[in-house]
Structure 1
Amino acid sequence: MSTPVPDRAFDPVAEQASRKDEHVALAVGLQPAERPNGFDDVAFMHHALPGTSVRQVDTSTMVCGVRWQLPIYINAMTGGTEATGRLNADLARAAAGAGMAIACGSQHIALRESARADSFSIIRREAPDAFVLANVGPTVSPEAAQRAVDMVEANALQIHLNVAQELVMPEGDRDFTDWAERIAAITAAVQVPVIVKEVGFGLSRRTIAALAAVGVAAADVAGAGGTDFITIENSRRDAQEYSYLTGWGQSAVLCLLEALDGPAPVQLPLLASGGVRTPLDALRALALGAQAVGVSGHFLRTLVARGASALEAELGAWAEQLRTLMTLVGADDVASLRRTDLLVTGATAERARLLGVDLAALARRSTR
């Protein structure tokens, strides 16, 4: 009789690494046209005498006390494997060439297995002068969060919130009772500013207020309309039984509108991401109050489909087009964009009205 062969021991780090590569493949396969996008509900009122000049436009913005050359940045994507390390190297080189900030993907895998750290630290090597954001979830210890910062010599730390993703992920977390307290502990301990971001389901005004109360430096509303991690995680389930949750959450536009209006201003600087496809989408988010706009899926698809040189060319084109668009709407700088007249219609307008947003005032704010 043959000797039974024991089952190979489950390796959680190897499983997580496999999931990293799988996430990239699934994210690249998700095309933005397949999902509604709140940016399509926002239009600028055209004024034919803008009184601006392209050469006078200042595209810089302040984030966490540092002046960024551009208000567009490469947002968190990936890392942890050989393949994703190559992607991070290409993304970092492109960011360095364009003068953009860049965030790395979740570093949990490298905190568990130090040999995988190079797939993240390569970002700093390839972009030595860039503003780099480290990335962890709220479940790590403050000490681990600081190690993540040190790993990429980060200028700031992103803490990602992904409850919807975790609940649909077959092996995901199920207990979120202490996340606010954990964020507060990390914020108090790390030596760089903390930015809390969603992963694509949006931050409500209530959530933003709670984050302000625990002392974070800024929040990225990261709304629905871009990479949908419910769809990604559901595709990894045998029965794919959560397909009805695709599209869950608020768009970045709705998040910004809710934060913009209300009985008192939101007391936290905001960034925006989620479904940004063009420089016009970035302009819309900036006009709605974002200090900077993050892009993930669109830049990733450009890199994978067309290569590093195409991504570098695209980042340069985005910078040039943003300057052109700011001239078109009469904005000499990013702050001036918040005085442009915006027309919000469609499903976004319906939802914004339910939240008490005064859309008519938004359409006439340049005359105030």
Structure 2
Amino acid sequence: MTGDRKDDHVRLAHAQHTTGTEPPPGGPPTPNQFDEVRFVHHALAGTDREKISLATRFAGVEWPVPLYINAMTGGSPRTGEINRDLAVAARETGLPIATGSMSPYLKDPGTASTFTPVRREHPDGFVLANLNAEATPEQARRAVGLLDANALQIHINTVQETVMPEGDRSFAHWATGIERIAAAVDVPVVVKEVGFGLSGRTVRELASLGVRAADVAGSGGTDFARIENGRRNRPDYAYLEGWGLSTPAALLDARDCGLPLLASGGVRNPLDITRALALGARAVGASGPFLTTLLDGGVDALVRHITTWLDHLTSLMTLLGAHSPDALADCDVLLTGSLRAFSLDRDLVTTAEKGVTV
């Protein structure tokens, strides 16, 4: 049953990214708050391309690029093949990679072979194992050990579980569970949402639990409320589609809240990567665009896709005069539209001192 559910997730996510993001004929485009983040163009700010470094530091380790393949899948033969191909693309491009939730492995050790290709195909890369907050410390150690993982990603997904027909309905103990896991494993723990965003209040609480970093993972990309609603006998949770904070809103809300931030959710192109880094992310993750490219064109197409994104990111940093990903946070950024309104309502960054102006 778990394998069928994982295959359903892949099928529905692929459909969402190939059809669900297209506007109706003559209709408005699907909103994405990354479009409300604009760089102030300074015509003499540009630098020399050869001075650009894409390297960034995360969890005490230098990543060669500020881009990673975020958690997607695992638990069935088909998803095992997808994990293998994603890992090959990560190896060829130098990207860190996170597995999908390894809960199927904890329930059935026979599914280990759907996750182990990630480490086998990317032997020297940065690999994040992935579990939910229900895992015990012993299970967390098993997951990390299976992949010789460099970090453990714990996903929190109350909205998804609420809509999921067979989902959990008890969440009050999750914070305690996260704290116990963080104290039990020998690798950094990263907590991420699954597309509904982490608020500043949540990030501050995570910092108090011993978590080392947070992936804000906001709305705008794969919508798991929509996916799980599509799996119900009666799709009666449609009103939760679009719930949560967008990735730009979450980054603004969680700035200076005690943890290094990663960003994912709704990332469509290299400009969105640049925007997220300018709003304070250390690195940026993508899932849906990479999955779509892989399923439609294969590994070679995905390698070309990632390589092109990295090339364009270098070009954008060159014209902005940012010699490193961290330096993008010093660029002048304007917030517009609903994101500007959100920032004002939340009394967030309102001066140019931090490079962001509303």
TM-score range, shorter chain: over 0.9
Task: Show structure 1 runs of 4+ deviating over 6 A.
Answer: none
The CA distance in 2 between the partners of 1:18 and 1:89, in whole Å, is: 19
Which of residues 20, 28, 37 in structure 1 aligns to 2:6?
A: 20
Structure 2 Cα separation of the partners of residues 358 and 23 of structure 1: 37
Superposed, 1:5-84 pairs within 5 Å as 15-31=1-17, 32-33=21-22, 35-84=30-79
Report the AA paired with residue 304 of structure 2.
Answer: A
Confirm or deny that 1:333 pairs with 2:324. Answer: yes
Contact 1:102 1:131 in 2 (8 A): yes
Residues 214/83 of structure 1: CA separation in 2 closer, same or farther (3 Å cut): same
Aligned pair count reads 348
Partner of 1:353: 344
Measured in 1, the distance between the counterparts of 2:254 and 2:194 equals 18
Q: How does 1:237-316 map to 2 (within 5 A)?
A: 237-260=232-255, 265-316=256-307
**Aligned residue for 1:6?**
none
> Aligned residue for 2:140?
145
CA deviations 1:213-259 (Å, max 9, x no partner) are 00111000000000000000001111111001100000010011112
Unaligned runs of 5+ in 1: 1-14
Q: 1:87 corresponds to which letter in structure 2?
A: I
Aligned to 2:330, what secondary structure does the other structure show? coil
The offset of 1:266, in angstroms, is: 1.6
User: Partners of 2:231 and 2:238 in 1: how far apart?
Assistant: 11
Partner of 1:7: none
Deviations 1:281-325 (A, max 9, x none): 000000000000000001000101111110011111111111111
Identity between Structure 1 and Structure 2 (%): 51
* Counterpart amino acid of residue 189 in structure 1: A
Q: 8 Å contact 1:343–1:359 — kept in the other structure?
A: no
Aligned match of 1:163: 158
Q: Find the residue that maps to 1:192 and give its secondary structure.
A: coil
Amino acid in structure 2 at the alignment position of 1:344:
L
Question: 1:342·1:362 contact (CA, 8 Å) conserved in 2?
Answer: no
Q: Kindly indicate whether the alpha-carbon contact (under 8 Å) linking 1:42 and 1:284 is maintained by their aligned counterparts in 2.
A: yes
Structure 1 residue 359, shift from structure 2 partner: 3.8
Q: 1:109 and 1:343 mapped to 2: Cα distance? A: 44
Q: Normalised by the size of structure 1, how large is the TM-score? A: 0.92
RMSD across aligned positions (CA): 1.3
Secondary structure of 1:272 counterpart: strand
Q: Is the 8 A contact 1:344 1:359 kept in 2?
A: no
The alpha carbon displacement at 1:360 in A equals: 4.7
Gaps of 5+ in 2: 24-29
Name the CA shift for 1:279/1:364 in 2 (closer, same or farther; >3 Å). closer
- 1:364, CA displacement in angstroms? 5.5
Q: Partner of 1:43: helix, strand, or coil?
A: strand
Q: Is the 8 A contact 1:203 1:222 kept in 2?
A: yes
SS in 2 for 1:30: helix
